[in-house]
Structure 1
Amino acid sequence: MWVEDWAPRAACRDQQPDQLFVKGAEQNKAKQVCTSCAVRTECLAEALDNQIEWGVWGGMTERERRALLRRRPAASWRQVLEEARDEQTVATV
């Protein structure tokens, strides 16, 4: 099920924002916060659909998100990620 109001459920909600908007190797530390986040997919879709350029969102860095956007510039990332999650859920049942 897709969570519309995902931010209050995010694993990073209690983090200092500066910890998620870092450069270089520090991004790997920021991404670790996302690994167990229940709303990681919603967060990533938000960043991709709104082409947010800075920070770690949904466990991906700016560079990683730019690569996805180049491959599918006109995609509705919410739809793509929601369908992928639904397929994964069906496959694991």
Structure 2
Amino acid sequence: MWVEDWAPRAACRAEQPDKLFVRGAEQNKAKTMCTGCPVRTECLAEALDNQIEWGVWGGMTERERRALLRRRPTASWRQLLETARKDATVVREPAGV
């Protein structure tokens, strides 16, 4: 299920925002905050659809997001990621459910 108001549920909500807007190797440390975040996908879709240039969003750096945007410049990332999540959920359900 897609969470519209995702920010209050984010794993990083209690962190200082400056921890997500770092450079170089510090970005890998910032990305670990996203591991296991219940709204990681929503966060990433927000950054991609709004072409947010700075910071770690949804576990991806600005460089990683730019690479995705170059591959699919007109994509609705929310739609793509929401569909991918649904497809992954269907595959994980045991047969007969």
The TM-score with structure 2 as length reference comes to: 0.95
User: Could you say which structure has the larger radius of gyration?
Assistant: 2
1:1-80 matches, within 5 Å, as 1-80=1-80
Q: How many residues align?
A: 93
Quote the Cα distance in structure 1 between the aligned partners of 2:87 and 2:67.
Answer: 23
Q: Which runs of 5+ in 2 are unaligned?
A: none
Measured in 2, the distance between the counterparts of 1:35 and 1:60 equals 11
TM-score between the two structures when normalised by the length of structure 1 = 0.99
- The Cα of 1:37 is off from its aligned counterpart by 0.2
**Aligned-pair Cα RMSD in Å:** 0.3
Mapped to 2, the partners of 1:53 and 1:15 lie a distance apart of 20
- Deviations 1:51-82, CA, capped at 9 Å, x for gaps: 00000000000000000000000000000000
Structure 1 stretches lacking a partner, 5+ long: none
User: Percent identity among equivalent residues?
Assistant: 82
